[in-house]
Structure 1
Amino acid sequence: MAQATDSASQAPAASSSEQLPRQGFFLLASLAFFWGTNWPAMKLAVIDMDPWTFRAICFIAGAGGLMLVARARSLSLRIPPADLKPLILTALINVTCWQIFSAFGLTLMAAGRASIIAFTMPLWASILSVVFLRERMTALRIVGLALGLAALAILLIPEFGRLGGTPWGAAMMLAAAICWAIGTVMLKAIPWRMDTIQLAAWQLAIGGVPVILAALLIGDPASVMDLTTPGALGVIYAALIPMIYCHWAWFRIVSLFPANVAAIGTLAIPVVGVFSSALILGEPLAGADLLALSLVVAGLFIVLVLPSLLPQRPKARTADPVSSRR
């Protein structure tokens, strides 16, 4: 994610040293809960209705809601000319591809397993950052990547070996995770001129255009009429809370906490996704699922959190001043 520029984060630390951490930890907990429970909600939605139509509804609600938040904060919705081209490109990769692959992947596999594969994203982002952001490939990143690949193998191999098994759902979720990782690296690499709320709103608005057109041309908008009560509740939940509140909450978390602390919130999301899917959808908790989940969480912890807990080596005098501030 791009670094937040929320004005509250610029206030002196001494004036809110007690309030900000409390608010941040509440947001972290709520983010893990709402993004985690979004997986069974999305599964309920795509069981009843066309995935194109479902995602189109999510885009309209998310972009519209975030734009209202931006206007409520007296922020302009004008796109700086220099941001337009990179905005379109990142929106198509970071938003459009993620939403399409994840929605269709959910139609082909259990929601709990889908969430595990989706949250291998930080592992792929750490690899891509070596190439595009010139970050070092450390031993911890290699270990984290190995754990993530092992988790994928545990989930994918039985699908290939099972009679009539279809690995396409897992392949789509992996594609979604990689697209999210590419988009995340691009968001970090591009010097945006917009506030993060504006950026998120326009990402959803632009990224949603191809999906809305596809829903009208090749989707089945009439499938809305086929929604059962659980499916309708899933659509409402996914379109409003994760698409609007969770985007805002993530930007706020980044403005309150260092990146490594914010990463802790992502570690809990697939855990909540697996267990909430078992509770709401009745999906069985197989040993392979729990082992894969443990490997992904361990890999994310090693890549995102552990480096900040280890003693830092002093920088060489000849180090580049920009890189030494990372």
Structure 2
Amino acid sequence: MNRTGILLALASAVLFGASTPFAKLLLGSIDPWMMAGLLYLGAGGGLAAVHLSRAALQMPAAEAPLHRSDLPWLGLVILAGGVGGPLLLMFGLARTDAATASLLLNLEGLATLAIAWLAFRENVDRRLLIGAFAILAGAALLSWQGSAHLQWGALLIAGACLCWGLDNNLTRKLSSADPVQIAMLKGLVAGTVNLALALASGAHFPTLGLGLAAALVGFFGYGVSLALFVLGLRHLGAARTGAYFSLAPFVGAVLAVALLGEPVTATLVVAGGLMGLGLWLHLSEQHAHTHAHEPLAHAHRHRHDAHHQHAHNADTPLGEPHSHWHRHAPLVHRHPHYPDLHHRHGHGPSDHEHGPTA
């Protein structure tokens, strides 16, 4: 099967995971809420510079822009992931110890998978579930420093994870559009909201150097990472992308050992083994069955493969890959596939095959 989506999701997790130890280096000098605002603004501002540079250089647009019909979904994404999640997290952190909060934040991956499976009917089989729970168990083990007691703070943090799980699934609805544009708008709005809340709570701006450093971490760890996550959603769907993204805590832990001199512990080794098992189960997934493609019309970045055999007019961009509005004729065939843009179909008991495929 196409491994592009896996590489994109893993790259997203690496960048986000790497941002944690770098942000930790800055937290001693920057208020946590101010840090959240600067990270998001660094993501949105950096991607805005990329977006404007592409326009100024008149680079051909290989990605489909956001359309008016996408705005309601984008609004929900920003509300859930950029405003609701951070707000609930901040209120929860005020009532919860750091160990419990770190453990509970790993519920995001589980929430993403559960919503994708139960609400959006995304195909999730036993192999994927076992792999996802192995990755999540490794992430939880990395965070575990004590027992988690049910309290209002814990419920608020769980609510934040639910918001981000919903955000990840709603973003899948936009994954055919330009990922830079999506991540840019989300970063700018979320950064502005968090910065305003930080200032209202009495936080102060850091020095210029520290502010720029935080913005740089945000650009790569939040902005570029989110753009890659959107591309991963396009290829893999929400459940699988969320599961791969759950490797981020392990990446952060490994970098903390290298950059901050933290010790290599048995917990880190066991967590790495669990995540490696989950990753292997996902990488070795084989899913193929005869399936029908219903007529579909949309715009996204594509090449002329078996799913894109359509005519062009004079306005069609030259070269491949390119983006334009196109129609898919009904098609019935069989091949290995993920629940990507063109394979979000229902499944019966006979549609799950795991092993060599023709």
TM-score of the alignment, normalized to the shorter chain, above 0.5: yes
The structure in which a higher percent of residues are helix is 1
Q: What SS does the corresponding residue of 1:283 show, helix, strand or coil? A: coil
Query: What is aligned with 2:274?
Result: 295
- Given the superposition, is the C-alpha separation of residues 117 and 321 from structure 1 closer, same or farther in structure 2, using an over 3 Å criterion? farther
Aligned residue type for 1:305: L
Higher deviation after alignment, 28-37 or 56-65: 28-37
- Given the superposition, is the C-alpha separation of residues 288 and 175 from structure 1 closer, same or farther in structure 2, using an over 3 Å criterion? farther
Aligned residue type for 2:284: L
Measured on the aligned residues, the alpha-carbon RMSD in Å equals: 4.8
8 Å Cα contact 1:121/1:180 also seen in 2: yes
8 Å Cα contact 1:95/1:207 also seen in 2: yes
The structure in which a higher percent of residues are strand is 2
2:115 to 110, 115, 128: 128
Structure 1 position 87, deviation (Å): 1.9
Aligned residue type for 2:54: R
**Alignment of 1:42 onto 2:23:** yes
Q: Distance in 2 between matches of 1:268 and 1:155?
A: 11
Query: What is aligned with 1:87?
Result: 74
2:127 to 140, 144, 148: 140
Q: Which runs of structure 2 are paired with 1:269-288 in the superposition (5 Å)? A: 269-288=248-267
Compare CA radii of gyration and give the structure with the larger one.
Answer: 2
Q: Distance in 2 between matches of 1:72 and 1:204?
A: 18
Q: Distance in 1 between matches of 2:177 and 2:260?
A: 40
**Alignment of 1:306 onto 2:324:** no
Q: Distance in 1 between matches of 2:69 and 2:147?
A: 46
Q: Distance in 2 between matches of 1:83 and 1:316?
A: 26
Query: What is aligned with 2:190?
Result: 207
Query: What is aligned with 2:163?
Result: 179
TM-score of the superposition, structure 1-length normalised? Answer: 0.65
Structure 1 position 316, deviation (Å): 8.8
- Given the superposition, is the C-alpha separation of residues 278 and 48 from structure 1 closer, same or farther in structure 2, using an over 3 Å criterion? same
2:200 to 211, 214, 217: 217
Q: Distance in 2 between matches of 1:29 and 1:122?
A: 14
- Given the superposition, is the C-alpha separation of residues 89 and 30 from structure 1 closer, same or farther in structure 2, using an over 3 Å criterion? closer
Q: Distance in 2 between matches of 1:80 and 1:317?
A: 24
- Given the superposition, is the C-alpha separation of residues 87 and 305 from structure 1 closer, same or farther in structure 2, using an over 3 Å criterion? same
Cα deviation digits, residues 207-256 of structure 1 (max 9, x gap):
2332122012014114x25x9x8x6685254133323443445556778x
Query: What is aligned with 1:10?
Result: none
Aligned residue type for 2:251: V
**Alignment of 1:159 onto 2:138:** no
Quick one: higher RCO (CA 8 Å, sep 6+), 1 or 2? Answer: 1
Structure 1 position 152, deviation (Å): 6.2
8 Å Cα contact 1:267/1:300 also seen in 2: no
Query: What is aligned with 2:315?
Result: none
Query: What is aligned with 1:7?
Result: none
TM-score of the superposition, structure 2-length normalised? Answer: 0.60
2:42 to 61, 73, 97: 61
Structure 1 position 35, deviation (Å): 3.0
Cα deviation digits, residues 85-116 of structure 1 (max 9, x gap):
332221132234555677897x9658xx95x9
- Given the superposition, is the C-alpha separation of residues 28 and 147 from structure 1 closer, same or farther in structure 2, using an over 3 Å criterion? closer
8 Å Cα contact 2:13/2:247 also seen in 1: yes
Structure 1 position 291, deviation (Å): 1.9
Q: What SS does the corresponding residue of 2:116 show, helix, strand or coil? A: helix
- Structure 1 runs not aligned, ≥5 long: 1-20
8 Å Cα contact 1:108/1:168 also seen in 2: no
Structure 1 position 159, deviation (Å): 0.8
8 Å Cα contact 2:250/2:272 also seen in 1: yes
- Given the superposition, is the C-alpha separation of residues 261 and 121 from structure 1 closer, same or farther in structure 2, using an over 3 Å criterion? closer
- Given the superposition, is the C-alpha separation of residues 168 and 49 from structure 1 closer, same or farther in structure 2, using an over 3 Å criterion? farther
Cα deviation digits, residues 292-320 of structure 1 (max 9, x gap):
34324433553x4332xx262445999x9
Total equivalences in the alignment = 286
Query: What is aligned with 1:18?
Result: none
Q: What SS does the corresponding residue of 2:284 show, helix, strand or coil? A: helix
Q: What SS does the corresponding residue of 2:262 show, helix, strand or coil? A: coil
- Structure 2 runs not aligned, ≥5 long: 56-60, 295-329, 333-338, 345-358
Q: Distance in 2 between matches of 1:251 and 1:281?
A: 31
Q: Distance in 2 between matches of 1:294 and 1:151?
A: 8
- Given the superposition, is the C-alpha separation of residues 126 and 251 from structure 1 closer, same or farther in structure 2, using an over 3 Å criterion? closer
Query: What is aligned with 2:222?
Result: 243
- Given the superposition, is the C-alpha separation of residues 100 and 50 from structure 1 closer, same or farther in structure 2, using an over 3 Å criterion? farther
- Given the superposition, is the C-alpha separation of residues 182 and 32 from structure 1 closer, same or farther in structure 2, using an over 3 Å criterion? closer
- Given the superposition, is the C-alpha separation of residues 311 and 155 from structure 1 closer, same or farther in structure 2, using an over 3 Å criterion? closer
Aligned residue type for 2:288: Q
1:73 to 50, 54, 60: 54
Structure 1 position 184, deviation (Å): 1.1
Aligned residue type for 2:204: P
